[in-house]
Amino acid sequence: MLENEQLQEMISNGHARRMGHIENYFGIAQRQKLYKTFAVIAKFNTKVNDKALLFHALGPLLLKYPTLACTIVDTDYSDTTIPRPIHDFIKVIDVLKLKDFLYELPQEIKDLKQDDPDLFFKLNEIVLPYADGNTLWKLAFLDDYTMVYISNHCLSDGISAKNLLQDLENEFERLSLDDDGEDYESKILLNYNSDKSILGKLPPSIDSIVSYKTPWWYIPEYIYNQFVINYLSFASGVVERSDTHIYKQVHIPPKDLEIIRQRLKDNEADRKITLTPFIQAAWLNAQYQAGIFNNFTQVSDVSLPCNTRQYLPSGYDTDAFKYGANTSGSRKFFTPVKNLTWSIVDYFNSYYKYLFKTKRFLYNMGIMTLEIVFKNQNMDKIISESYFGQPRGNTVFSNIGLVHDSNNKKYRISDVHFSQSPGSLVFTFAMNTVSSVDGGLNIVLAMAEKTISKEKFEFIVEKFKENLLRDDIEQN
């Protein structure tokens, strides 16, 4: 009874609420063991493995952004025969210490170099306990200068990770601390009873403000697209819970990245070309050169996540949504890229701008927000059955963009990597990109084993990097 009273008080104070549909999807991914964790690795130019520094930097962020301090109040989901239209609560954890956010990596992981593919594999195999009062993200250290953000994707996404690293960087810069010998790891960062009056309010779930709801006119388009992907597109192996992954990395130094950006600018048609469509075209062409498309149509699918904070209405407090699972994405089939040309890059660029403008980025995940679906179906059952035992398609491509170029003099992020695997989602490859001013562009690629050969994967990655650096791409 006491727990219920406390939860009701938290709801009244704006420090607890029901999960939204999109948040619940990532909860399902954890409950059904579809996904483990993603990691963003940031190397600083100054020592940051300092408990006093972390304590004083994290404290203000938890008070301002209570999403960072939340857990999930889980219930029993074992009965999948009945619909579960009402989602679990999220709430601020009663008492938080610095150690609740720290994850101690085994020495065998710390010994790996930052660009070692085995490092990405081991980080993405980490499992963070779902709910039960646990924090949903952790910070770990490879060495005194290299911090790792690890998340199970609940109430978090790649943009959240980037935002936290940038915020910590700025908090570090403003602090000036002397070692006072305190045990900061066990010191209380947040105590709900004493801090609730100064604690920020949880933002509502983003799908309660931005409508993901799939319009009826989009349903035929969705069905057609899914039919082509399921029956006519590239497929390799089937999804199993025990699947493991192989990793590769492509690094583009800052000087070469600047050359690529200039080439994009020089070859713009009537609109700005971003890195994302160029990377996708280079990747699909490398796959074509490897001859992996054994389906007679040679079409294959690419899923591109979208930062849905961009859809928040004007005048809304967008800063409140800095942290959270505020994402959606498209999944579309494409014909093979037989020749890498600027017209192909422009096509992808135009197409993704069209998806954004018409809100089609929202509508695939929006299926889950339709009352006829979530009120009449058990979503845990529907989603797990739509993944396990199903053939893997092509690529999920996540680009979290540029870690900002701060004016900090002491604390600067000098290099950053973003890593995740396809997990038990229906993709053969996961491509994860992030860039920084000092470190250039890093692309971490993961491939599910038992799909295509390791040798072909290595060939694709080699050709992919060659494509990114090519200076002879023709217009048509």
**Average pLDDT over every residue of 21-36:** 95
Looking at the fold, whether 189 and 248 belong to one and the same domain comes out as no
Looking at the fold, whether 158 and 198 belong to one and the same domain comes out as yes
Looking at the fold, whether 328 and 195 belong to one and the same domain comes out as no
Looking at the fold, whether 185 and 264 belong to one and the same domain comes out as no
Look up residue 406 and give its two tokens: 């701060």
Distances in Å between the Cα of 140 and the Cα atoms of 69, 101, 184, 226, 438 are: 17, 9, 16, 39, 22
Domain boundary among 150, 183, 208: 208
Residue 366 has pLDDT above 50, yes or no: yes
What does DSSP say about strands 391-403 and 427-436: parallel, antiparallel, or unpaired?
parallel
DSSP assignment letter at 102: B
348 band by pLDDT with thresholds 50, 70 and 90: very high
Residue 288 has pLDDT above 50, yes or no: yes
The parent domain of residue 62 ranges over 1-208
What total number of domains does the chain contain?
A: 2
> What percent of the chain is modeled with pLDDT above 90?
87
Cβ atoms of 290 and 460 within 8 Å: the answer is: yes
Structure confidence at residue 294 (pLDDT) = 80
Q: Considering only residues 409 and 415, tell me which one the structure prediction assigns the higher pLDDT.
A: 415
Structure confidence at residue 1 (pLDDT) = 40
414: CATH: 3.30.559.30
Residue 2 has pLDDT above 70, yes or no: no
Residue 179 has pLDDT above 80, yes or no: no
Each residue's pLDDT tens digit, 230-266: 999 999 989 988 889 999 999 999 999 999 999 999 9
Distances in Å between the Cα of 280 and the Cα atoms of 206, 285, 355, 360 are: 28, 9, 16, 19
State the pTM of this model. Answer: 0.96
Looking at the fold, whether 240 and 198 belong to one and the same domain comes out as no
Looking at the fold, whether 245 and 385 belong to one and the same domain comes out as yes
99-136 as b/e: b if 16+ CB within 10 A:
ebbebebeeebeebebeebebbbbbbebebebbeebbb
Residue 178 has pLDDT above 90, yes or no: no
Looking at the fold, whether 193 and 226 belong to one and the same domain comes out as no
114: CATH: 3.30.559.10
476 within domain boundaries = no
Structure confidence at residue 407 (pLDDT) = 81
Where would I find the H helices in 320-427?
A: 342-357, 360-366, 371-374, 379-385
Each residue's pLDDT tens digit, 50-79: 999 999 999 999 999 999 999 999 888 888
> Within 13 Å, how many C-alpha atoms sit on residue 167's CB side?
21
Cα(219)–Cα(360) distance, integer angstroms: 11
Each residue's pLDDT tens digit, 194-203: 999 999 999 9
Looking at the fold, whether 17 and 95 belong to one and the same domain comes out as yes
Looking at the fold, whether 175 and 243 belong to one and the same domain comes out as no
Query: Which H/E stretch holds residue 191?
Result: strand 188-191
Looking at the fold, whether 60 and 197 belong to one and the same domain comes out as yes
Looking at the fold, whether 50 and 175 belong to one and the same domain comes out as yes
Looking at the fold, whether 228 and 341 belong to one and the same domain comes out as yes
**3-class DSSP state of 323:** coil
